[in-house]
Amino acid sequence: MPITPREASDRIRQACRLAPVIPVLVVEDARHARPLAEALVAGGLPVLEVTLRTPAALEAIAAMAQVPGGVVGAGTLLGPEDVRAARRAGAKFGVSPGATERLLEAGEEAGLPLLPGAATASEAMRLLERGYSVQKFFPAEAAGGVAALRALGAPLPQIAFCPTGGITAQKAPDYLSLPNTLCVGGSWVAPKRLVHAGDWAAIEALARQAATLGPRPGSH
């Protein structure tokens, strides 16, 4: 079923409100996918982004899609082929570092809600003009961090963002303090060393900490 940009942003907004952090996951071994997802969901982070940066990514999405309580999406979508592959694998949403007409059209046609990326006011305005009121601010830290995102919020208060890129547990509260930030994306909750070691208890503990993150006290 096709989806409009407005409907896509509404669904992304709902997902972003489920937890303050969306884990950004690079899965190199599909056998890790299900226990990794189970640990993150158990820790209170139900919305998961699996980046299409490894050969195992689509298989990992398919495995994670079977985990009760999880909402699994595909990240690093670069073109229509990625959108269709993600949809077939069972992704509930898609994330892209930027946005092109072909990518947006493919998401809308496939009925896959997209969180498109923007780093400048012009990019954000073009997406808003099309109907995308929820966007990914990427690469967050390299593009100016909290100060840049706060500055964008002044002329563009109708856009809500999920900043991603270089964000840590220490930096997340500053982003979450901003009125135009719904949640943040971060990879710190599933470090490669813990995934390779199969230390799911440690990952669940990191997820529990992340699930409690909020605005830094006295930030407003």
Q: Is the pLDDT of residue 92 over 80?
A: yes
> Of 49, 92, 108, 171, which is the active-site residue?
49
pLDDT level of residue 215 (50, 70, 90 thresholds): confident
The H or E element that residue 163 is part of is strand 160-163
- Bridge-based pairing of strands 71-75 and 117-118 is unpaired
> What share of the chain has pLDDT > 90, as a percent?
97
Residue-level pLDDT at 85: 98
* Short-list 16, 6, 47, CA closest to 180: 16
Identify how many contiguous H helices and E strands the chain contains and give both numbers.
10, 9
Nearest alpha carbon to residue 190 among 204, 205, 203, 171: 203
What local confidence, expressed as pLDDT, does residue 200 receive?
98
Asked if residue 98 has pLDDT above 60, the reply is yes
> In what side-by-side order are the strands of the sheet with 134-137?
117-118, 134-137, 160-163
Q: What is the spatial distance between Cα 143 and Cα 104, in angstroms, rounded to a whole number?
A: 22
Of 51-60, 192-201, 211-220, give the lowest mean pLDDT range: 211-220
Which amino acid type is present at position 4? T
> How far is it, in rounded angstroms, from Cα 195 to Cα 171?
23
Confidence band, pLDDT 50/70/90 cuts, at residue 218: low
Residue 189, classed as helix, strand or coil, is coil
- pLDDT at residue 109 above 90? yes
List the catalytic residue out of 92, 108, 136, 204. 136
Mean pLDDT, the chain, whole residue set: 97
Q: How confident is the model at residue 128 (pLDDT cuts 50, 70, 90)?
A: very high
Helix (H) or strand (E) holding 136: strand 134-137
Distance, CA of 33 to CA of 65 (rounded, Å): 10
pLDDT confidence of 161, banded at 50, 70, 90?
very high
Q: What is the pLDDT of residue 219?
A: 61
- Domains of the chain are 5-163+199-211 (3.20.20.70)
> In the annotation, is 49 catalytic?
yes
Judge whether 109 counts as a catalytic residue: no
**Is pLDDT at 220 greater than 60 in this prediction?**
no
